[in-house]
Structure 1
Amino acid sequence: MMKGSVSVNSPRIRAVTNWVFLRAAGGAQRPRIMSPEQFFPEARRLEARFPALKAEVEELLLRREIPRYGTFDPVRAAQVSEDWKLYYAYMFGQPNELARTELPTLLEFAESTPNVVNAFVSILEPGVPLPSHRDPYAGVLRYHLGIRVPTVKPPRIRLEDEYYTWKEGEGVVLDVNHEHEVTNESDQSRIIVIVDFHRPLGFLAGLLNRYMLRKKRKWAPQFVEASRYDVMHAA
């Protein structure tokens, strides 16, 4: 299994490729918060199965403890949040085989949708912030689907000067290569499903993106194996 952080490796190459991708996507004028119908219409299939997906996520949380970001990518976690909890069902095209029984709806969607890169569950517990940052790789857009969202002081995400508040069963597409932060001032956890997918680009930039994402597959075991680790059973 790889050691280190996919988020900080090869910084010079990443800076060049990010420049290419963002220029092809419209530069600083590219949108921050987008409609899935326009940018990720495939999400309709996942949203149509929302009751099953929500039930599987709830059952997963009852059965096991979800690993914290700091346990499998401590370098990047130190920059964002060591306490952000993540369960990867699919990472750079590699499935978490346990997800075939634990999150079959999400894994089936990821494996049957060619432009999906990653698919995972994201848990932000009360009082845990994700301070201002940008995602390190610009070749993907990020789809969020609310699974469990507190109704009192509901958490929200800020992208530059725009805000989005999650809602259960509602999807949204975000360009998290814009500067953004998340706050959860409620007394309950915010739980969402996240799907990363290929950013729409021109032909040449799209080829470069697919090549770079294939090279990143070597990092997948570090994330998938962490999601397999059952802290509750190991304790």
Structure 2
Amino acid sequence: MPTELVRCTGVARTYGRGDAAVVAIHGLTATVRTGELIAVTGPSGSGKSTVLHLFAGLDSPTAGTITWPGLGGDPTGRPGAVGFVFQGPSLLAPLTAVENVALPMLLAGVTPAEAAARAATALGLVDAAALSQRLPEELSGGQAQRVAVARVLAARPALILADEPTGQLDATHRDQIITVLIETARHLGAALVVSTHDQRVATRLRRQWRIRDGRLCTDAGPAPVPTTDRTAGDLTC
């Protein structure tokens, strides 16, 4: 039986106050369970990134409730429970690529030897082994993003969140990264939630949550996936 990792009930997120207030998310009611592969699609500014930040505990709702029953509560104090691939640069400048990948594991109590071995393996999976000793300033945007993906994979999280993870990648690396994310999630029994503008990425995932004006609509899976192989959506417009 799949475990509920994240549960949102009537969640809203507003930025600013008064006339300047912007409601980024309205009435988000959704559940993410182990093993689910979910694409969050929608135009720029629709709230995709806010949804992922709320799921990760990196942002707090201004209304409604969000809980993490399958993660033992708020994951922000436990490195490794949630892996987040950010849309922008997220590597620590003083550390090499392999040190960036190993850091979350060290913070979670993994031994240095195991962290180093898992970091090297993860870099190889994303075709970045040759970059292991480079500093972030020596990497292109696409190379840095592949290292950021490796950092998440190596930590073996229960919930993988990726915010436009292929935005800076060419077609070859785009397909490779999505394949690695999906295969890793399946191997770990983790959930994978990816926000994306790219329909070629979205159709690789089993469920699609379409967001419009800060509201998640009834989810739809890509046509090649049989109806019996999908979890019914929780969401309504």
TM-score for the superposition, normalised by structure 2: 0.26
TM-score for the superposition, normalised by structure 1: 0.26
Larger Rg: 2
